[in-house]
Amino acid sequence: MTTATTQRMDEVLREQFGLKSFRDGQRQVIERLLAGKSAAAVFPTGGGKSLCYQLPAVLLDGLTLVVSPLLALMREQVDSLIGKGIKAARLDSSLSAEEARLVMQEVRNGTTKLLYVAPERFFNERFRDFITDIPIAMFAIDEAHCISQWGHNFRPDYLKLAKISKQLDAQRILALTATATPAVLDDIRREFSIALQDAILTPFYRSNLTLRFTLADERSRDATLVQRLKEAPAQPSLVYVTLQKTAEEVAERLQASGLPAHAYHAGMDAEERARVQDLFMSSQDAIIVATIAFGMGVDKSNIRAIYHYNPSKSLENLAQEIGRAGRDGEPAVCESLLVPEDRVVLENFAYGDTPSVGSVRRFVEFLVGQPENFFVSYYSLAHEADMRDSVVRTLMTYLELEEFLVGTAPRYESYKFKARVPSSQILAHFEGERRSFAASVLALTVKKRIWFEISLPQAANRLKCDRARIVKMLDFFAEKGWIELQVSGLVHGYRKHQPIADIEELTQELYQYTLDREIGELGRLNELFELMCSTDCQCGGLSQHFGQPLASPCGHCSACEGQAIEELPEPDYPRIGDSALTAVRQLSKKHPEQLGDARSQARFLCGMTSPRMVRARLSRDAMFGCCSAIPFDRVLESLLG
């Protein structure tokens, strides 16, 4: 690294970002990127990961493409960068067609330095065609731990990002995460070809956070929470809950106690969520009662308290959530109010993702019936096989990894547009064969009330051309502002790499894979509860989980203060009544497709839906969810017995 480059880094840091010095690890990461290397940044929540791509983006020639699943982070960071005089933009579902067109035009013109997109954006064939022609100086992946299929938050879409970065010929990669265990970091480095010496880790432990785990019961928990909030000075606080309805209920109870509480969850409309978030960012005493939908990408430095009304889902989630407190370095309290019965809810979430063996068999039979090259709607396949959409994605990714399938470009099945200028005005811009082709495309559209619709397969067949040529022309019309183009019906492309020789063998292999994932989720939950009840330093235990053991006990966790829970009392679970078992078995005779095996019946009794159950309206049955307070494995055991 030359002296001139170092001086330029410091100059941009001061003049454009208004900062006097780099934080731990930032300089090392940025120097590697400016030297043309790929890097990984494993910094704790609030550790300054975003500067690691924002600052070099200013200095590099070309576009920095930032991939993040967090819409709140995109909006906040783009607004902040524009305020600093740095040209940044985002492409997400909240933009109008005209706004998206202008963003792409400015990127194409080379004036945009950073473009933020969600991983799903790469499923959009229009975006892929567009971004392929743009020089990518840096490809930055936020929440990079999602690439590990054995991590706490695996997203199948992330596994495709490594391949996409190569297709785009990105000059350098930056993978960022706050919650990578050593094994997950190995996965990140392998997928993105990052050298060990270019993975920069900063200390996970933060001495300003007091970590407490307090045993409570369902009757006393509300009173304890109100007491904690009233005893402390008025200050920004977060209360995390598991369910959306719990967020509403707890916020109302806190309001009734005279506290400035507001609910936040994914079930609220976007405008209301934005209002609550903006209120919290500007307030000095607001209390937000939220599901984990809140906080991702929210950068508020003076959060003084974080309470877990319900437990977190894993040690990784706990670390991420408490990491939002005390980012200004001042003391903050992070306390979990532990009610033993809450564990059932979290365990049942893990069980809820595992399909029945019959569902997996239907999934495999569907694939066997497809031609060598095929397209599939995950939504339709989920309903056909009777499993969650997320499980379909995971199984398709597994089949790619095991080389049964090769993923090809996704596409949209439905194209429609609203004309902004007459067709004669559009055609006036073309000559010769291009004019003839454009006229033929427009002639094949069908006018509805407002929109023109076109069947791409039929049009391609009639015009004897590749479907892609029609899409490219429609995109060109949209870029020029002549039409407002709308697409829908996303389907994913695949090519069979090897035949499925034995349906039953693959069914059992995939079913075992889903069971292994279930075991992994339950194992992460066990690790969390072991830490919460540990008599050893709990800050040290959390740091050890991320490969950074403490040299000595922290002195400010429940265990170090002599307040460890030590052992959770066994909940007094309701009895599984014979009437419930008899009723679901009788119901299964009427609905064999939905309730044909013990696992499906247990899901029904525990209140877990599936696409076919919803379609048959079984979730409205009086017995649905009657065993939701009982561990799933106990219900399943009773049905099998």
pLDDT at residue number 45? 82
The residue to which tokens 């379909």 are assigned:
392
Helix 357-368 × helix 503-532 angle, to 10°: 140
Note the pLDDT of residue 149. 77
The torsion of the CA quartet 149, 155, 157, 159, rounded to 10 degrees, works out to -20
How far apart are the C-alpha atoms of 464 and 633, rounded to whole Å?
Answer: 57
Give the global pTM: 0.87
In the chain, the N- to C-terminal Cα span, in Å, equals 68
Place of tokens 């330093």: 537
Q: Can you give the pLDDT at residue 449?
A: 86
Residues of the chain with pLDDT under 50: none
Strand pairing category for 452-454 and 446-447 = antiparallel
Pairing of strands 261-264, 199-201: unpaired
pLDDT at 295: 66
Q: What is the pLDDT of residue 296?
A: 61
Q: How far apart are CA 633 and CA 640, in angstroms?
A: 10
CB 586, CB 595: distance < 8 Å: no
pLDDT of residue 297: 57
Strands 405-419 and 452-454: antiparallel
d(CA 85, CA 17): 10
